[in-house]
A and B are shown apart, each in its own frame.
Chain A
């Protein structure tokens, strides 16, 4: 570890201290920090709802929450976790912070638009919180019609407005990233020299700007039907209830890749560094990212095998879903191969990354059970699905996010955290996670439907295990909050490159100066220039 402090200009954190200097900043790094605060807030709020759900399910009789409140709790949990945590998390925080640094730029292409995106994010959040304060919404995060348009008496419009607004935040972020990568790369930074995290941000940005408008349109149609009785989805008005599902999943399936592609990008960075070795098969990794982003648009129908879609349509969506497993498998194999002949140290970011690979694999392979039409019949809309998407979204995206936060923490804050606590938290999280969600695979195969507030007594044992795991997991999630906060004051000074890592972001001071680099870097070789 080199902790030699170079004579550096003021860091971006010292550019101004008042609240005003933060709320009017155009610096991508400060905006990343602002996002980080908002996202952390929503993560724990959504987590609180998860805790309520899980504690309710300790007993088969719905005795902790009323049915009404339970339904609102899982809806709030889902809405917040998807739109206010998972989708923005990595792109808006680490993406915003690192993208310009990694390509040697001074900022993103449109700094004002970047700040505006953050305001949209917070504005959407205000609507969602207002919805909660008014009494909540009970449709599930999927807003299926005609329940959401004609039958729910809860605050659907308020929730939809929140999601609608936050959608624009992600469209603008995507736009900003695409233009940034196209126009602001440092001299010598060719496409095949981009770090994999930058590639994943680029692919995600494309998905964001292509898919999110469909969501906006769909939500607007819900509004039209609810407020003006225009018959789009409700058959009583001449509409088609399954049409909504097509629109919704046409956005939401690609959105799953908005959640996981950034994680894959991050983990590639963490593993190559942890093994101190060039990533295995860089080109294949890039093609896999692109492949996932493209095929991700073609598989939405696998959410609808039993929804009344034609038998043949289901077969087509099934095979496409099997095919998208190929690029995902390539990624797992290449991460594993990167370890071969490495010089591996197990610091906290590496532990998170290895945890990610394991959990992502279990989540991804169980996706094949759901992609196989004949098996999906028994599994869909059960706890098997809940387990599957938590393995991908929580085991995958959240682990990667935390790994990334740890890895770049010294860059962002200029401080080191307690390595011992960080490792302990990572291990506890892995254990708590599996205890929470593995039993749900079994519950699902045995037929426990999801979104159940009361269940048959025969399902209790696995539910108790799952709730116990969730409690452990909750504690594990609180730990980084504490020791990272502690490090802000008491952590050791980091120095510009505490990990002795490669990558342009490590060539500037920690925390970086407002303009990122004193002189524009010149790139002469590909990423991950480790010796092996």
Chain B
């Protein structure tokens, strides 16, 4: 009944856990032994020597500070690991997750969609970009030692590299209403070749292509195309750039920024533009926003150039 170690984090987390467990066990054994020895030796009626007590500053400082520094070591180790767990590598493959009462909807960049399942290859860092349609959920895969709350109206992310092919449990860990305990799924980890075959078999319209269609249908292109007469920001090369805002601050145009710019355009107005963009809040769902964001990420001059050369 041991928990499988199926991600690159798992062994590290487990080592840290074991180390802390050992340290705690030492403290527990130490204190319990003392308590039991004292309780036996000094129980009422024995003739042990009972001289009056003294306060002892040295003793107090020693037994406080020595364990404290040992535990600080654990803290440092934990922080080191934590920063790694929270910093996805640049080459991580994005996969989009939308949670809703009570299911997990997954979209791959190639347009593959699945419900309550996530297929990933061994050895490839995967970055999940997640949001919720309703309440707070939490994406939890014990075998990977990863968990992240999934919030409505905001993107959160999670990354991992699976190391063992197999099928693992996916749970919703944040109470989300009646069927919370049924909001479960599976993560299927496949050898890269199997994964490539799976992707091929489930190919749909790519996410970016869906986004491109939406971009036209919803009328975004009316304002944002370079030929447009409306004074609106050019969206080429936007992703990853730093955008100056009307209030004088700056913001990194990441996925969260793009998401908010579509749903809550008044929240962060780009410097030099009138706040005339309508909000799409309530008009389109989170999955559509994901498609639009995926599309915007492909809109770089570099990508466009190579397209033309093809």
A contact residues vs B (CB 8 Å cutoff)? 62, 67-68, 71, 138-140, 144, 146-147, 150-152, 234-236, 238, 241-242, 275, 277-278, 280-284, 306-308, 311, 314-315, 318-319, 322, 325-326, 329-330, 332-334, 336-337, 339-346, 354, 357-358, 361-362, 365-366, 368-369, 372-375, 377-378, 380-382, 445-447, 449-456, 458, 531-532
Are A344 and B44 touching (Cβ within 8 A)?
yes
Q: Which residues of A contact B13 (CB under 8 A)?
A: 374-375, 377-378
User: Would you call B135 and A308 a contact (CB within 8 A)?
Assistant: no
**How far apart are B283's CB and chain A's nearest CB, in angstroms?**
13
Option from A281, A319, A332, A368 in Cβ contact (under 8 Å) with B31 = A332
A440 to chain B, nearest CB (A): 15
CB distance from B50 to the nearest CB of A (A): 5
With known contacts A311-B82, A311-B83, A339-B35, A151–B101 Cβ distance under 8 A: yes
Interface centre among A275, A336, A447, A532 (most CB of B within 10 A): A447
B147 lies within 8 A of A236 (CB): no
Bound-state Cα–Cα, A330 to B66, Å: 12
Is A280 in contact with B173, judged by CB distance below 8 angstroms?
Answer: no
Residues of chain B contacted by A314 (CB below 8 angstroms): 82
Measured CB to CB, the nearest residue on chain A to B25 is A365
Tell me, in angstroms, the Cα distance from A144 to B134 when the chains sit together. 13
Least Cβ–Cβ distance between A341 and chain B, in angstroms:
5
Asked if B34 contacts A532 (CB within 8 A), the reply is no
Q: Is B156 a contact partner of A238 (Cβ separation < 8 A)?
A: no
- A283's nearest neighbour on chain B, judged by CB, is B55
Would A329 and B67 count as touching, CB distance under 8 A?
yes
Q: What distance in Å separates the Cβ of B167 from its nearest Cβ neighbour in chain A?
A: 13
B180 touches A451 (CB 8 A): yes
Q: How far is the CA of A170 from the CA of B181 in the complex (A)?
A: 35
Chain A residues whose CB sits within 8 angstroms of the CB of B233 once the complex forms: none
Cβ contact of B171, chosen from A150, A234, A336, A449, cutoff 8 A: A449
Do B42 and A147 touch (CB < 8 A)? no
Q: Could you tell me if A144 and B38 are in contact, using CB atoms closer than 8 angstroms?
A: no
B75 touches A319 (CB 8 A): yes
User: How far is B291's CA from A457's CA once the two chains are assembled, in angstroms?
Assistant: 38
Q: CB distance A453 to B154 under 8 Å?
A: no
Given contacts A358-B32, A446-B3, contact A306 B147 (CB under 8 A): yes
Task: Say yes or no: B173 contacts A449, CB within 8 Å.
Answer: yes
A147 touches B44 (CB 8 A): no
Q: Indicate the member of B16, B39, B72, B180 with the most A CB atoms within 10 Å.
A: B180
Q: How far apart sit A330 and B57, CA to CA, in the bound complex (Å)? A: 12
B44 touches A378 (CB 8 A): no
A377-B39 CB under 8 A given contacts A151-B101, A326-B64:
no
Partner pick for B64 among A333, A378, A455, CB 8 A cutoff? A333
Which residues in window 234-290 of B have CB below 8 A to A? 264, 281-282
**Listed A/B pairs (12) with beta-carbon separation below 8 Å:** A151-B101, A241-B153, A280-B53, A280-B55, A306-B138, A333-B60, A337-B59, A341-B48, A373-B79, A374-B13, A449-B181, A454-B182
Enumerate the 4 nearest inter-chain pairs by beta-carbon distance, A residue then B residue, closest first.
Answer: A235-B153, A447-B142, A339-B38, A452-B181
Given contacts A341-B42, A446-B1, A531-B52, contact A151 B135 (CB under 8 A): yes
Across-interface contacts of B82 in A (CB, < 8 A): 311, 314-315, 318, 373-374, 377
In the complex, the chain A residue whose C-beta lies closest to that of B84 is A374
Contact A374 B81 (CB under 8 A): yes
A334 to B31, CA, bound (A): 11
Q: Is the CB of B176 within 8 A of A377?
A: no
Say which residue of A236, A282, A374 sits within 8 Å of B281 (CB atoms).
Answer: A236
A152 to B101, CA, bound (A): 12
Complex: A147 Cα to B67 Cα, angstroms: 42
CA distance A322 to B69 in the complex (A): 10
CB-nearest residue of chain B to A322: B75
Whose C-beta in chain B lies nearest to the C-beta of A347? B44
Of chain A, the residue at the smallest CB distance from B33 is: A336
A397 CB to closest chain B CB (Å) equals: 20
Tell me the nearest residue of chain B to A455, going by C-beta: B181
Determine if B53 and A278 form an interchain contact, defined as CB atoms under 8 angstroms apart.
yes
Q: Which residue of B lies closest to A339 (CB)?
A: B38
B38: nearest chain-A partner, CB-CB: A339
Of A277, A330, A451, which contacts B53 at CB under 8 A? A277
B35 with A235: CB separation less than 8 A: no
| Cα(A315)–Cα(B3), bound, Å | 26
Establish whether residues A354 and B175, one from each chain, have CB atoms under 8 Å apart when the complex forms.
no
Are the CB atoms of B20 and A340 closer together than 8 Å?
Answer: no
Residues of B within 8 A of A306 (CB): 138, 147-149
Inside 8 A of B2's CB, which chain A residues have their CB?
446
Given A344-B38, A357-B35, CB of A318 within 8 Å of CB of B17 = no
Q: Which of A71, A241, A283, A458 contacts B1 (CB 8 A)?
A: A458
CB-CB < 8 A to B264: which residues of A?
Answer: 238
Q: Which of B60, B135, B146, B151 counts the most A-chain CB atoms under 10 A from its CB?
A: B135
Question: Is B297 an interface residue, CB under 8 A from the partner?
Answer: no
Given A341-B42, A362-B28, A378-B13: A326 touches B68 (CB 8 Å cut-off)? yes
Residues on A with beta carbons closer than 8 Å to the beta carbon of B169: 447, 456
A361 touches B55 (CB 8 A): no
CB atoms of A365 and B28 under 8 A apart: yes
Contact across chains for A236 and B152 when beta carbons are under 8 A apart: yes
Partner of A336, one of B31, B49, B281: B31
Indicate whether A354 sits within 8 Å of B181 (C-beta atoms), given known contacts A146-B135, A306-B147, A345-B44.
no
Give complex CA distance A450, B171 in Å: 11
Q: How far is the CA of A138 from the CA of B154 in the complex (A)?
A: 25
The proximity string for B residues 7-44 relative to A, scoring 1 for CB distances below 8 Å and 0 otherwise, is: 00000110011001000100110011011001100111
Instruction: Find chain A residues with CB under 8 A from B93 CB.
Output: none
In the bound complex, residues from chain B placing their C-beta under 8 Å from that of A152 are 177
